């Protein structure tokens, strides 16, 4: 089979290309920016890449054209596909038809923690010799790849609520039909495609409609928005999880921090308690872990064996990834781009390092953040840091100067920000932690900072 992918270099579509090649298919595709590491990975797989969108790139002999969800009308390749009446589909639909059909799909949905929880779940299954397939929106360090076909029956997928394609505005997760579904949490996000939280809840309600009666929905009891979705209708078995603070409802899965930073915690289920000691920290990661253990348990893994796997879990690239450590200076790279995720990440770091100095560096880059939807929440979310440097380029639609305070400085240039950051690191002295938060490249700030620190 031959497939051609328009918009091939994103994490999801690149992973899809990997799966297709593993199935023996001939794959080619294009993207506006073909750059490492995804371009290198695809070329190593034998995928023919076209840099930029041109009508004559399209493989007219392909059995199907897969259209990425970033592709819109006016794209010359899409226009050719429509004008010629070529067979096309979305990435999510292709995945359902050619990969997920007949498999036990374990899907992780929610506003926060999807990538980390999916990675934990895949690793638990792998550690227990179940060889799962997976497609994850990040690179789990235990695997060093974002997608793998694996062996039947299990397939783990990060179930994104973003829309499917230019012609299909349903959330991608509508196509997956999971047998095990984790609902981590739910808040307003993706303001570019959702008008409000209710619009997102509608998509989650549609997701629940696709889950069978013998399937399991594992949900966070701390999320009122998820409660409302479940109240709209749920036809499957359910299991709630919590940190033990939900007293008026039955949580069949509970966790309790045994260390201030949750680097040691306990999972309680069916009258038994299991201790976890791992390299991660943060209350949010503890909740991610109990959700992953519950999902693995539904697939047949004992809690004791799941806990053993967590002790060897190495997290995900760009999720509190330590990218520099020398001379009592530590630099972390994190994907946080929503106030809740920012606050959880900083609070976890604060609990881990105590009174040591924390400098937070933030690039508001998501569509929601650029529109200023959550700007009123940012100052409070950044409170756990001692000092904060925020960068905003011309695409940010609100005055980043509104955040200026004794704690927070705003910059419209990464060069100026880097200069100030280096001064603050020097002034902080010993035991300084720099947390860089962005869901983009941040104009290479991470690399520039490390180069300057190495020159010292």
Q: Which pLDDT tens digit goes with each residue over 198-255?
A: 999 999 999 999 999 999 999 999 999 999 999 999 999 999 999 976 554 678 999 9
Tell me the C-alpha distance between 298 and 179, whole Å.
9
Residue where one domain finishes, among candidates 310, 345, 366: 310
Instruction: Kindly write down the DSSP assignment for every residue of 369-418, as one continuous string.
Output: HHTTTTHHHHHHHTTTSSEEEEE--TT--S-GGGG-SSSEEEES-HHHHH
Position 97 in a domain: no
Q: Are residues 331 and 402 in the same domain?
A: yes
Mean pLDDT calculated for residue range 426-437? 89
Residue where one domain finishes, among candidates 310, 329, 357: 310
Position 96 in a domain: no
Query: Coil, strand, or helix at residue 27?
Result: strand
Mean pLDDT calculated for residue range 285-291? 95
CB 133 within 8 A of CB 151: yes
| pLDDT at position 364 | 80
Query: Which range among 295-304, 364-373, 423-432 shows the weakest confidence by mean pLDDT?
Result: 364-373
Position 363 in a domain: yes
Mean pLDDT calculated for residue range 167-172? 94
Tell me the C-alpha distance between 367 and 63, whole Å.
34
Q: Are residues 142 and 271 in the same domain?
A: yes
Q: CATH code at 22?
A: 3.40.50.720
Q: Are residues 110 and 243 in the same domain?
A: yes
| Confidence tier at 185 by pLDDT (50, 70, 90) | very high
- pLDDT, tens only, 135-150: 998 888 899 888 999 9
CB 328 within 8 A of CB 364: no
CB 147 within 8 A of CB 91: no
Percent of the chain with pLDDT over 70: 97
Q: Are residues 249 and 359 in the same domain?
A: no
239's tokens? 């299991």
CB 412 within 8 A of CB 400: yes
Residue 75 has pLDDT above 80, yes or no: yes
Q: CATH code at 442?
A: 3.90.190.20
Position 451 in a domain: yes
Query: In terms of pLDDT, which residue wins out, 179 or 382?
Result: 179
Residue where one domain finishes, among candidates 310, 330, 357: 310
| pLDDT at position 36 | 65
Q: Are residues 405 and 305 in the same domain?
A: no
| Confidence tier at 413 by pLDDT (50, 70, 90) | confident
pTM for the predicted model, two decimal places: 0.87
Give the range of the structural domain holding residue 370, as residue numbers without chain letter. Answer: 321-455
Q: CATH code at 120?
A: 3.40.1190.10
Query: Which range among 148-157, 334-343, 442-451 shows the weakest confidence by mean pLDDT?
Result: 334-343
| pLDDT at position 411 | 85
| pLDDT at position 402 | 75
Position 315 in a domain: no
29's tokens? 């595709």
Structural domains counted in the chain: 3
Q: Are residues 356 and 238 in the same domain?
A: no
């Amino acid at each position: 089979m031959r497939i051609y992918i328009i918009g091939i270099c994103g994490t999801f579509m690149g992973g899809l290309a990997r799966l297709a090649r593993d199935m023996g298919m001939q794959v080619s595709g294009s993207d506006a920016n073909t750059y490492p590491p995804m371009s290198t990975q695809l070329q190593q797989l034998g995928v023919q890449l076209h840099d930029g969108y041109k009508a004559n790139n399209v493989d007219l002999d392909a059995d199907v054209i897969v259209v990425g969800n970033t592709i819109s009308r006016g794209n010359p390749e899409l226009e050719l596909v429509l004008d010629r009446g070529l067979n096309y589909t979305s990435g999510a639909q292709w995945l359902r038809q050619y990969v997920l059909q007949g498999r036990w799909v374990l899907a992780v949905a929610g506003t926060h923690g999807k990538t980390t929880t999916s990675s934990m779940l895949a690793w638990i299954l792998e550690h227990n010799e179940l060889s799962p397939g997976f497609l994850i929106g990040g690179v789990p360090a235990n695997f060093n790849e974002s997608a793998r076909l694996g062996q039947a029956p299990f397939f783990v997928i990060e179930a994104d609520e973003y829309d499917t394609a230019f012609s299909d505005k349903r959330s991608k997760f509508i196509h997956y039909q999971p047998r095990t579904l984790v609902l981590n949490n739910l808040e307003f996000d993706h303001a570019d495609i959702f008008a409000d939280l209710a619009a997102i809840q509608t998509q989650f309600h549609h997701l629940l409609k696709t889950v069978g009666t013998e399937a399991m929905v594992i949900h966070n009891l701390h999320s009122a928005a998820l409660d409302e979705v479940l109240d709209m209708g749920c036809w499957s078995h359910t299991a709630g999880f919590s940190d033990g603070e939900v007293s008026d409802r039955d949580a069949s899965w509970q966790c309790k921090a045994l260390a201030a930073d949750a680097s040691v915690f306990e999972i309680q289920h069916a009258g038994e308690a299991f201790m976890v000691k791992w390299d991660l920290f943060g209350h949010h990661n503890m909740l991610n872990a109990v959700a992953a253990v519950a999902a693995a348990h539904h697939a047949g893994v004992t809690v004791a064996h799941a806990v053993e796997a967590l002790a060897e879990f190495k997290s995900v690239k760009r999720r509190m990834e330590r990218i520099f450590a020398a001379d009592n200076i530590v630099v972390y790279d994190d994907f946080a781009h929503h106030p809740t995720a920012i606050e959880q990440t900083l609070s976890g770091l604060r609990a881990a390092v105590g009174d040591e100095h924390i400098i937070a560096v933030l690039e508001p880059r998501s569509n929601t953040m650029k529109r200023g939807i959550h700007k009123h929440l940012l100052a409070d979310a950044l409170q756990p840091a001692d000092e904060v440097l925020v960068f905003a380029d011309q695409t940010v639609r609100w005055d980043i100067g509104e955040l200026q305070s004794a704690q927070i400085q705003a910059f419209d240039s990464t060069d100026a920000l880097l200069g100030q950051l280096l001064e603050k690191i020097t002034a902080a002295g010993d035991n300084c932690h720099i947390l860089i938060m962005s869901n983009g490249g941040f104009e290479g700030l991470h690399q520039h900072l490390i180069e300057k620190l190495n020159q010292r």
